[in-house]
Amino acid sequence: MLSRLTAGAFKKVASFGASRSSTLFSGSRAASARFASTKASSSAFESLANSRAAFASASLFTVGSIAWYTHLYGTLPFVGKVHASHLSDEGLHPSAYPWSHKGPLDSFDHASIRRGYQVYREVCAACHSLDRIAWRNLVGVSHTADEARAMAEEVEYMDGPDAQGEMFQRPGKLADYMPAPYPNEEAARSGNAGALPPDLSLIVKARHGGADYIFSLLTGYIDPPAGVEIRDGMNYNPYFPGGAISMARVLFDGLVEYEDGTPATTSQMAKDVVTFLNWAAEPEHDERKQYGIKAVIIFSTLFWISLYVKRFKWGPIKNRKIFYNPPNNTH
Ligand code: HEC
């Protein structure tokens, strides 16, 4: 039918634009034209890609340009220096240890805090301060008031000025804070080959991995693996980011003698001192969990009471039936 129409008639129909079929028709014509041209170019491309000569020359070109680039600059283009990655590049991630205070209802092991304090005092306190902990904080946690007072009195504190304006030394009191091993940062650095032993009060919170990290650090000293060079005065520890730490291994079996007879192995001392430091960073820990239990009990009771009250109050309202008695229009 269409073939019998003249070109003029055809144009006329298209120019009206009102007929649906004419728009469809012109659309399909354009599509077929596009298709024809794509087909032509793709077949040309295919024949080029399929030719072995083209493939061989492209490979040669690639290899040649890479060879030229590496010859010129000494490295591969777009590839950073390749080196074997090592455990200590980012710090070996510590394992998750089953701390006895880990669960939501668990308190600290206070006997362990007491042993941990002993390890801190006898080993770590030679280099690390514990600025935020006062003697009084130990009372009722790891020591009795008399024990804490006796320990405080062994330390001399600067006080004053007295009536003559002089500073004087006096034995410590419960209100005094733990004595620091160095008077200032410079002294601490010069005593440790330039490295600053950080204050340990909040160290468990201040390090990624917390207690697990500190425990792994204290027990993780090993010989540097083949190919890793450690400067003099530095020590290799895969848990420390970078691997080279200024602090040497400090815990060795039998270093302290526990008063409760616990065998003082390296891992036992590390566990105790980390429990102590964990308490130092979170002294509110036990109370917080107690409050948590109380809050859950109280709020869940209140929740059930409020449900009951709601049903009780709304019961009559929701169950009532409202009738509408239309007035009798009989008069
Ligand atoms: C001889 C001094 C010395 C003793 C003793 C010592 N440390 Fe250190 N400690 C250092 C120094 C120095 C650094 C800083 C290391 C660095 O930055 O390379 C350090 C760093 C640390 C760090 C921080 C690591 C980090 O991730 O930044 C922790 C935690 C730590 N010590 C815990 C302890 C504990 C716990 C003890 C006791 C068992 C202890 N240290 C005993 C000197 C000491």
Q: Which two tokens stand for residue 274?
A: 């980390």
**Measured distance CA(284)–CA(137) in Å, rounded:** 11
pLDDT digits (tens, 9 = 90+) for 205-234: 999 999 999 999 999 999 999 998 999 989
For atom 14 of ligand 1, which residue has the closest CA? 197
Contact 239, 89 (CB under 8 A): no
CATH fold label, 88-133+177-283: Cytochrome Bc1 Complex; Chain D, domain 2 (1.10.760)
CA 233 from chain center: how many Å?
30
101 known member of a binding site: no
The pLDDT of residue 13 is 44
Residue boundaries of the structural domains of the chain: 2-73, 88-133+177-283
The pLDDT of residue 310 is 96
DSSP-assigned beta bridge partners for residue 245: 235
For atom 20 of ligand 1, which residue has the closest CA? 197
CA dihedral over 163, 169, 170, 175, signed as positive or negative? positive
285 known member of a binding site: no
Cα(273) to centroid(ligand 1), Å: 12
- Using the predicted structure, report yes or no on whether residue 289 has a pLDDT greater than 50: yes
Residue 235 parent element (H or E):
strand 235-236
pLDDT digits (tens, 9 = 90+) for 86-99: 555 668 899 999 99
The pLDDT of residue 329 is 80
The pLDDT of residue 85 is 59
The pLDDT of residue 131 is 96
124 known member of a binding site: yes
For atom 41 of ligand 1, which residue has the closest CA? 124
pLDDT digits (tens, 9 = 90+) for 115-131: 999 999 999 999 999 99
Residue 13, classed as helix, strand or coil, is helix
Neighbours of 42 (CB within 10 A): 10
Longest alpha-carbon distance in the chain: 128
Contact 274, 218 (CB under 8 A): yes
- Using the predicted structure, report yes or no on whether residue 11 has a pLDDT greater than 50: no
Cα(246) to centroid(ligand 1), Å: 8
The pLDDT of residue 309 is 96
Cα(23) to centroid(ligand 1), Å: 82
Determine the length of the chain. 331
Neighbours of 226 (CB within 10 A): 5
128 known member of a binding site: yes
pLDDT digits (tens, 9 = 90+) for 184-195: 999 999 999 999
Q: Which two tokens stand for residue 55?
A: 């493939």
Mean pLDDT of 277-294: 97
Contact 216, 209 (CB under 8 A): yes
